[in-house]
Structure 1
């Protein structure tokens, strides 16, 4: 007897190699995938604008990265004793405008150069509900606790997502012809508007991502939303807030991601990386004990062996 509808994942026509540079943008779920990639020593640039939830803000961020845009103080707002950017997460906000600008521009410059050489871009859409600044009629990534009266919040249409994104994809092909893109929809539910509205939002995102993926053989859809909502489908796989997948669910999703995008050679490398990472995060009750010193000596010998076996690791935090 079957008690759940497990999603079977077919391996993608093109797979990620351990040497490939990867850039991620999108919702906080993208951070879960980035964390897993980093723990296996992939070369990853994570969310250079901070966490972004809606497709229009992610599209705008990628355009800024391609353009290598330089922000000035005119691009910032001052609210509650801090400087903010409507296009960035609040992690970039600062009480000193120059520090804020330095962090923003440094991140964009780094992302511009990284995106130029990246092999993979992973994009995770979180919601189709978007805040628009009334004065400029522009979608914003973050309201930074400004009065709600300054914004209009609405569910964007399928065309409002696909039309700018198809133009962006043309730009990305020109900017980096080797780039492959993985789209996904975050399984984290946005319950502020209730379950029916959340479903409308997620359905819009799913339809949009499939239209984008269908436009090129270099684009892929990873069913993160479906894995959590249809496969796991149980509140024991959620955190206490009943919206965020817990570590068990994230590990399960990571397993599905590996099955789809890593060939046997890469999966074998990942086993070696996981074993090494486990050693580096081991905690000793007494680091001065003979057994601890022996363990650290063996770990350093393993590190040197892996560096010799995989020379590209020298360019990473390994």
Structure 2
């Protein structure tokens, strides 16, 4: 008997290589996944202008980053709700603690979301013509909208992501993080105590599914080679001043330097 429904999805037409330059922009879920990529020695830039929940705010970040070089961009969509400054009619990314009366809240349409995301890709392509795009919808529910309202918001984002992938073809890929959490990991033990945000265990599981789907064989080999070095560097000794620990640390650093010789793009700060 099967006691859960596994979310099956195809591999993308492209693969992620070791130590790629990746831009993560989006909700706090982008922060969680982006940090994991950084830990695994990808050259990842994560929400350089802060967390951006909606597609227009994602575009605002990309406008500041369009001249940078990236191999892949990951957009994590959180909501279609935006705040508009009443005096200018502009969508703001952060109210900066100004009075709420200065802003009005509205919802982006599927067309507006798709348009903002498409423009983001076009801007990145100016300096990165071969850039790959991964889209995902954050599994985090927004209680303040009500759970029905949260589902409606996610539905708009899902439709926009689907349209963009169809428009961009094989250079874009939708990774179903939203579906994995809501259709596969249905138990509350997969959430943090607020019962809204995915637990660390859930983020680890999504990472495993992403590696399985999107990573090249070479990238998987690199992860296995980096794993023991990463664990050793994170070791907390009982006696940090001992000669035994100094020898252990020097051997670990030498293993890291050896790995960097094989993967020159690996960022290594010892």
| TM-score relative to the length of structure 1 | 0.81
Q: Which one of 304, 307, 311 corresponds to residue 257 of structure 2? A: 304
**Aligned residue number for residue 22 of structure 1:** 22
Q: Distance in 2 between matches of 1:297 and 1:41?
A: 20
**Aligned residue number for residue 2 of structure 1:** 2
State how 1:184-263 maps to structure 2 within 5 Å: 184-216=136-168, 217-263=170-216
SS across alignment from 1:170: helix
1:155 and 2:107 correspond: yes
**Aligned residue number for residue 274 of structure 1:** 227
SS across alignment from 2:104: strand
Structure 1 runs of 4+ aligned residues shifted over 6 Å read none
The CA RMSD over aligned residues, in Å, is 1.5
Gaps of 5+ in 2: none
- Change beyond 3 A, Cα 1:127–1:144: same
Q: Distance in 2 between matches of 1:177 and 1:207?
A: 25
Q: Distance in 2 between matches of 1:164 and 1:120?
A: 18
Q: Distance in 2 between matches of 1:38 and 1:163?
A: 29
Q: Distance in 2 between matches of 1:311 and 1:60?
A: 32
- Change beyond 3 A, Cα 1:158–1:180: same
Q: Distance in 2 between matches of 1:163 and 1:308?
A: 43
Q: Distance in 1 between matches of 2:157 and 2:75?
A: 12
Question: How much has 1:9 moved relative to structure 2?
Answer: 3.8
Q: Distance in 1 between matches of 2:121 and 2:261?
A: 38
SS across alignment from 2:23: strand
Q: Distance in 2 between matches of 1:8 and 1:295?
A: 43
Q: Distance in 2 between matches of 1:175 and 1:264?
A: 27
Q: Deviations over 1:195-218 (max 9, x none)?
A: 000000001001001101111210
Q: Distance in 2 between matches of 1:137 and 1:228?
A: 36
Q: Distance in 2 between matches of 1:132 and 1:22?
A: 30
Question: How much has 1:166 moved relative to structure 2?
Answer: 2.7
SS across alignment from 1:258: helix
Question: How much has 1:317 moved relative to structure 2?
Answer: 3.6
Tell whether the 8 Å contact from 1:9 to 1:256 is kept in structure 2 after alignment: no
- Change beyond 3 A, Cα 1:147–1:8: same
- Change beyond 3 A, Cα 1:192–1:211: same
**Aligned residue number for residue 119 of structure 1:** 71
Tell whether the 8 Å contact from 2:56 to 2:113 is kept in structure 1 after alignment: yes
- Change beyond 3 A, Cα 1:317–1:46: farther
Question: How much has 1:278 moved relative to structure 2?
Answer: 0.9
- Change beyond 3 A, Cα 1:298–1:65: closer
Question: How much has 1:316 moved relative to structure 2?
Answer: 4.5
Q: Distance in 2 between matches of 1:170 and 1:287?
A: 51
1:289 and 2:239 correspond: no
1:130 and 2:53 correspond: no
Q: Distance in 1 between matches of 2:100 and 2:228?
A: 49
